[in-house]
Structure 1
């Protein structure tokens, strides 16, 4: 069934344009609330958000929608996405909502929904909510309209939970850590948690003003973090994205470390300690072939999924894995969280750094990645991948990479982008085929 509202990670778009309008947000609250009104108990939804200016508007509209169908609302303010998932479970809520467009610019926003178990909704639940969105909602009788309140200690609850994932016998004393919070949801909790564990914390991206989230900061643009690590001679740098479910690291020499290297570190470390389940790690088709070869050398497997952390989580739950993620920095450890958690993943990296006693530049280079290049082509509309010229160029590129690499073309589920990725042993060839395909897509999209 075709989706009208939900993409690969909830509902997302430019604010005040469909589907991210106040009107649709209120309808989402009514539809999702109605779908989860199960049983005779008093129903509850937890709503968190990042620091975007539009968060106030979307939050108010969702509150109106949920309360109008009889669901009580608990608002926790700016909080990481994994914190909302955690609080949904711990507060015994029927539903959790995160208002965020993750790593997107401030003008975008989104609505992510979590079930009572803290996991993102299944396709079946999303389709059921979509079916209700354009209908007429069943409003609650006047005496059964929901109530709304704010919880002031939510940050402390999440910080405590995150710190519990750090080994009891370790501390971060003497470790200089630069943390870049992208002027986003973790701007308070991440520096606080690191400081409480003993680190010497240098914080960047902790002055949100509603419009500077992800702006030349955070995991999608770690240049400022890299500069600060080198300037302060820090031991490591940690970059989160706008809703703090991603992690990118900068080592002590200024080298940027992606999610593939972090999954290798955590997966192999847990395997040696007898903590890894499933016999391997789950990652997406975007992860480097070097990761797969590295895990195989350790007797482990790499199970690949479609792009999107929700698909990684589904595969982890189905196969009994407890470590997975994406090259982009979503690191999922189901022993601790139901979704990607940048802070918790960072604490696992820091624990390895302390226990191994090695500099980050030695520890985090787990394998030699194959040359890989990803380029994005923005398009205004239509289906450029259906163009005959594009398909012919893709086929030719795949033929050139046979036996030495691979080509992956996909349409973004959250932005009007065509993503073109190639990987192989010949770096020059990889660059050539990516540019050829991008040019063909640009011509078709013109």
Structure 2
């Protein structure tokens, strides 16, 4: 039984007692708290409109009904766009001039999870300050329901994913014609969620020959939905077997994307942002922003291009905040999340795919395995250790112990602890925003060395 509340959204497992998991009671309370946060923030408004979307999870259809009832009972009009992606909800908020939006999804978490991602009127996630206010309202139950005379209305708008795609294709940096001429053959793993609709649809517009895998959005995920190497063995095998040019995999709500090389090698979730940043910087120079857990290869790229690089704590809201401060031309996270601010301040796998395909099509269709050779070759180890009784005190003890061990090294404490070693090696230890786990990311010049560094930290943690 798990319930996680962070600026990345509300997420939990679908079982257990009230307050211990993600149940209809939690949906009602958080939905009501969100509406009254919104009414307080935009207090001069008399009528409120929300966008509602969902991913393909088995429980999303059922929980969507709860959300509609709650929102209407609070006097809010609901525009239901149905099966959607997280970035599509953000686009719909902007297009419809709505006061906010909710995406029913647990992102990359397993299929026994679900959750809520909440947007402001700019189609962006709530800031940390706004999220804390929303949580306070929810916990204190500072909300009341409307009379029968003031119930909200329900509207349906179909094909919003298509509207999202057409808006992407209107970007001047996307070259639809050159992609069509390249005649790419691409395998798509849609993880039986909305990526199975959105990604093939985008590729069809771009004249790509698509081979679908797990693209029926019934939500019964055939593998762990986090798009990382160990979960994508099937597509890594299929791409070379059918002689495809590349493979594409996304997470269930389509804000992260990774690529598979023509020879079946994993291009690497870290190199999604590196390669796309490279292409954007060819067109417009400016600052880059990513997280403390992202590969040093992105910083190396910024040095090569002569542009500033900034790092932030992990989380889309932190990256977006810094991007706005420094007027970054591109940003994102090393997990495959790309933010292109000329489109929207939010991670968007579909924008990432369109940018990436334009890039490789302009490079005379060189194989992906060769494209990766253009960038610094680092190796990362990403480990995690689960804990069932979260304790800030235990985390403090751990960080104190690690700090003492590496006291001679440069450190950053803005998000857990990041330790900088020689030769661009580093260790980052932090509590996850989305699960009850501690994440340990290390990077080095060899896989063996990166694994050794992470195992050392795991030993320290288990010692507690």
Per the alignment, in what secondary structure is the counterpart of residue 73 of structure 1? strand
1:170 aligns with 2:170: no
Q: From 300, 310, 329, give the equivalent of 1:293.
A: 300
Q: From 242, 253, 256, give the equivalent of 1:232.
A: 242
Instruction: Identify the range of structure 1 (387-396 vs 205-214) with the bigger mean alpha-carbon deviation.
Output: 387-396
Match of 1:66 in 2: 71
**Residues 386 and 132 from structure 1, CA distance in 2 versus in 1: closer, same or farther, beyond 3 angstroms?**
closer
CA distance in 2, matches of 1:76, 1:213: 26
1:197 aligns with 2:224: no
CA distance in 2, matches of 1:201, 1:73: 35
Match of 1:420 in 2: 440
Alignment root-mean-square deviation, CA: 2.4
Judge conservation of contact 1:49–1:98 (CA < 8 Å) in 2: yes
Judge conservation of contact 1:248–1:257 (CA < 8 Å) in 2: yes
1:251 aligns with 2:261: yes
**Residues 284 and 70 from structure 1, CA distance in 2 versus in 1: closer, same or farther, beyond 3 angstroms?**
same
Q: Where in structure 2 are the equivalents of 1:252-271 lying within 5 Å?
A: 252-271=262-281
Per the alignment, in what secondary structure is the counterpart of residue 297 of structure 1? helix
1:375 aligns with 2:375: no
Question: Number of paired residues?
Answer: 438
Judge conservation of contact 2:85–2:253 (CA < 8 Å) in 1: yes
Give the TM-score of the pair, scaled to structure 1.
0.91
1:366: Cα distance to partner? 3.1
Q: From 411, 422, 438, give the equivalent of 1:403.
A: 422
Q: From 147, 157, 163, give the equivalent of 1:157.
A: 163
Per the alignment, in what secondary structure is the counterpart of residue 419 of structure 1? strand
Match of 1:47 in 2: 52
1:433: Cα distance to partner? 3.0
Match of 1:9 in 2: 8
Per the alignment, in what secondary structure is the counterpart of residue 258 of structure 2? strand
CA distance in 2, matches of 1:23, 1:287: 37
**Residues 192 and 314 from structure 1, CA distance in 2 versus in 1: closer, same or farther, beyond 3 angstroms?**
same
Match of 2:102 in 1: 97
CA distance in 1, matches of 2:58, 2:7: 23
Judge conservation of contact 1:180–1:225 (CA < 8 Å) in 2: yes
Instruction: Identify the range of structure 1 (430-439 vs 33-42) with the bigger mean alpha-carbon deviation.
Output: 33-42
Q: What are the ranges of 5 or more consecutive residues in structure 2 without an aligned counterpart?
A: 410-419
1:295: Cα distance to partner? 2.0
CA distance in 2, matches of 1:215, 1:382: 24
Q: From 359, 363, 369, give the equivalent of 1:356.
A: 363
Give the TM-score of the pair, scaled to structure 2.
0.88
**Residues 376 and 394 from structure 1, CA distance in 2 versus in 1: closer, same or farther, beyond 3 angstroms?**
farther
Q: What are the ranges of 5 or more consecutive residues in structure 1 without an aligned counterpart?
A: none
Match of 1:30 in 2: 32
**Residues 439 and 354 from structure 1, CA distance in 2 versus in 1: closer, same or farther, beyond 3 angstroms?**
same
Q: From 303, 319, 326, give the equivalent of 2:333.
A: 326
**Residues 288 and 171 from structure 1, CA distance in 2 versus in 1: closer, same or farther, beyond 3 angstroms?**
closer
1:241: Cα distance to partner? 0.6
CA distance in 1, matches of 2:101, 2:360: 34
Judge conservation of contact 1:74–1:148 (CA < 8 Å) in 2: yes
Match of 2:414 in 1: none
